[in-house]
Amino acid sequence: MAIGSLAFSILASSAHADWRETSSDHFVIYADEDEKDLRRFAERLERFHAAMAYRLRMAEGELKPSPSNRVTIYVVSSRSKVRKLADSTSRSLAGFYLPRAGATVAVIPKLDRRSSAYELSSETILFHEYAHHFMASLTARVFPRWFMEGFAEFFAAAKFPPEGGVGLGQPAFHRAYELAYGRALPLRRMLEFDGGLGGAKSGTETFYGRSWLLFHYLMFATERSGQLQDYQALLAKGRPALEAATGAFGDLDQLEKDLEHYQRSTAFKYMLIPDSALGIGPVSVRALRPGEADMMPTRMQSRLGVTPEEALELLPEAHRIAGLHPDDSMVLAALAEAEFDAGNDDAAIAASDRAIAINPGEIDAHIQKGYALYRKVKNGDLPKESWKEVRSQFVRANRIENDHPIPLIRFYLCFLEQGEAPTKVSVQGLEWAMILAPFDAGLRWMVAQQMIFEDRLEDAARTLGPLAYSPHPGEHTDKALQLLKDVEARIQGEPKRESD
């Protein structure tokens, strides 16, 4: 990706952008959009979250994310900008999502939504990915891939009628073409998918559509009432996917026939959750300060991730903006991030200190200072005794935002880098970070490794499950699946210990 030309193409189109920040309980949105449209969009996202919580009976006692652990959504001017930021040439790409502890981001184009009900809109993609995000926060249980994708597709088809409320159960029209013209994926094969589509060559083009169809059918069909709950209960007992399906659904050949008949239905059942059941928190919208607005494209690119070469190309623009706005703590925190990405640890610390002097609560500046100190000690630019200073920096960040997962993770890692056994408090902090950000694959892998080291094999198996059977396989998936099998073999070969 030619980040230099990309950055300046975005900057050129954003030089006079009226960037706004929209803040709610679960989301923070940055966009050059009308305030009314942004407020409506944020409220729709919160109502979507509330509808899932209501439908799954988990609204009471929900743990709200800390400010930095909310999903940050960047709204850019077009799909072509989305593709550039994603370093993708796919013309079908309408948005993307990166689940990371303390830095979860999504990028979508302008809020004009789709022109056709049969088009996969950026909002539908966002809803689909947020449904996965929501499920990861809901439970660490492992589900077959069809269930996870069917769940996400079912909720992603949510509608917001003018009279209010959220409608669940509308047909997933964006899957109509594949269901009508794709080669049907055999039901048994779909039900037993665990680690992905693998080398399969036929029928997989209907996987998402068929998963939605089966989930919808089991949610609404009177003759199948309770079977989806039975299926989940059997899975929770450790039954293999196909065995659990047979135990809950009965004759799978009959289920396939019923599903084909259901697909030909002229009307699908639908439920409307009224606004009175969807109590959502306040939504605030503010115009960014001039310095914040000028720095937003650079900050956005830094948050999405850059190579060292790309970071060096972004740095002059970060310097230019910081020179124009030397008293804006957010601008200086963003400069610190750009300096760190470019490998300039001392400059990153200096920019962080300037930001903290202006605003002692500027959490991003504290985090960037901690990153830079951490790397300086790790690289030998500071003595090993300085690990104590690094830990103290992340403790300061933790005091500012107690449930920010990054200080908890880095506090733990300091011990490993120092060659010392992590303290009990640091391990507890790491595991709390995973509770706060269960969707972060790298964090989950780290926690599982620590559990195995402590011989907490059953805890490790539960932790590895969602990683091994992730709906979107990543760098840890294959390793996690193999490690899970190894851990399960060790559990079966050892007498079960009484819990403390």
At 12 the pLDDT is: 43
pLDDT at 357: 98
Residues 358-387 have a mean pLDDT of 97
8 vs 62, more confident: 62
Cα–Cα–Cα angle for 29, 294, 127, rounded to 5 degrees: 15
Tokens 């750009």 belong to: 338
Query: 249, 235 in Cβ contact below 8 A?
Result: no
Average pLDDT of the chain?
87
Supply the pLDDT for residue 494: 63
pLDDT digits (tens, 9 = 90+) for 185-230: 889 999 986 544 344 444 567 888 999 999 999 999 999 999 999 9
Q: CA-CA distance, 146 to 169, in Å (whole number)?
A: 17
pLDDT at 35: 93
From the DSSP assignment, how many helices (H) and strands (E) are in the chain?
A: 22, 8
Instruction: Count how many residues are written for the chain.
Output: 500
The SS3 of residue 479 is helix
6 pLDDT tier (thresholds 50, 70, 90): very low
Residue 225: its pLDDT value, please? 93
Say how many CA atoms lie within 13 Å of 413 toward its Cβ: 18
Span 50-63, mean pLDDT?
75
The stretches of 205-251 forming alpha helices (DSSP H) are 207-220, 227-236, 241-249
Indicate the range of 29-33, 96-100, 417-421, 473-477 predicted with least confidence. Answer: 473-477
Residue-wise pLDDT tens digits, 415-439: 999 999 999 999 999 999 999 999 8
Contacts of 285 (CB under 8 A, 6+ apart): 20, 21, 22, 23, 35, 38, 39, 42
Q: What is the pTM of this model?
A: 0.86
CB 305, CB 341: distance < 8 Å: no
Sheet architecture: strand order including 96-98 = 96-98, 105-108, 71-75, 27-31, 20-23, 284-287
Mean pLDDT of 477-500: 77
Identify the three-state secondary structure at position 181. Answer: helix
**Residue that the structure tokens 């892998």 belong to:** 445
Q: What six digits make up the tokens of 92? A: 């079908």
Does the pLDDT at position 171 exceed 70?
Answer: yes
Distance CA 27, CA 33 (A): 16
- Picking from 401, 302, 323, the residue whose alpha carbon sits closest to that of residue 361 is 401
More confident residue, 142 or 444: 444
Query: Best-predicted range by mean pLDDT among 29-38, 402-411, 462-471?
Result: 402-411
Q: Is the pLDDT of residue 62 over 70?
A: no
Tell me how many degrees the CA angle 387-406-295 measures, rounded to the nearest 5. Answer: 105
- Do residues 18 and 289 make contact, with C-beta atoms less than 8 angstroms apart? no
Greatest mean pLDDT among 87-91, 181-185, 325-329: 325-329
3-state helix, strand, coil in the chain (%, to 5): 60, 5, 35
Measured at the CA of 186, the angle between CA 182 and CA 191, to 5 degrees, comes to 120
Greatest mean pLDDT among 90-94, 202-206, 298-302, 474-478 lies in 298-302
> For residue range 79-122, what is the model confidence (pLDDT) as tens digits?
888 888 888 887 777 788 999 999 999 998 887 654 444 445 77
Q: Which secondary-structure segment (H or E) carries 105? A: strand 105-108
For residue 448, pLDDT beyond 60: yes
- Beta-strand relationship, 27-31 and 71-75: parallel
Nearest-angstrom CA–CA distance, 458 and 201: 36
What's the pLDDT score for residue 139?
74
* Residue that has been written with the tokens 């008293």 in this structure: 327
Q: At 321, list the tokens.
A: 């903006």
Quick one: which H or E segment has residue 497? none
- What tokens appear for 337 in the block? 């991030």
Q: What band does 380 get if pLDDT is binned at 50, 70 and 90? A: very high
HEC-encoded secondary structure of 239-272: CCHHHHHHHHHCCHHHHHHHHHHHHCCCCCCCEE
Please name the helix (run of DSSP H) or strand (run of DSSP E) that holds residue 286, with its range, or none. Answer: strand 284-287
pLDDT score for 245: 94
**What DSSP state is assigned to residue 109?**
-
The DSSP result for 378-411, as a single string, is HTTSS-GGGHHHHHHHHHHHHHHSTT-HHHHHHH
Eight-state DSSP code of residue 66: P
Contacts of 80 (CB under 8 A, 6+ apart): none
Q: Are 325 and 349 in contact (CB under 8 A)?
A: no
pLDDT at residue 263 tops 60: yes
| pLDDT at residue 61, as a whole number | 53
Inform me whether the pLDDT recorded for 11 exceeds 70: no
Contacts of residue 388, Cβ cutoff 8 Å, sequence gap at least 6: none
Q: What is the DSSP string of 406-448?
A: HHHHHHHHHHHHHTSPPPHHHHHHHHHHHHH-TT-HHHHHHHH
- Domain layout of the chain by residue ranges: 171-269
DSSP 113: -
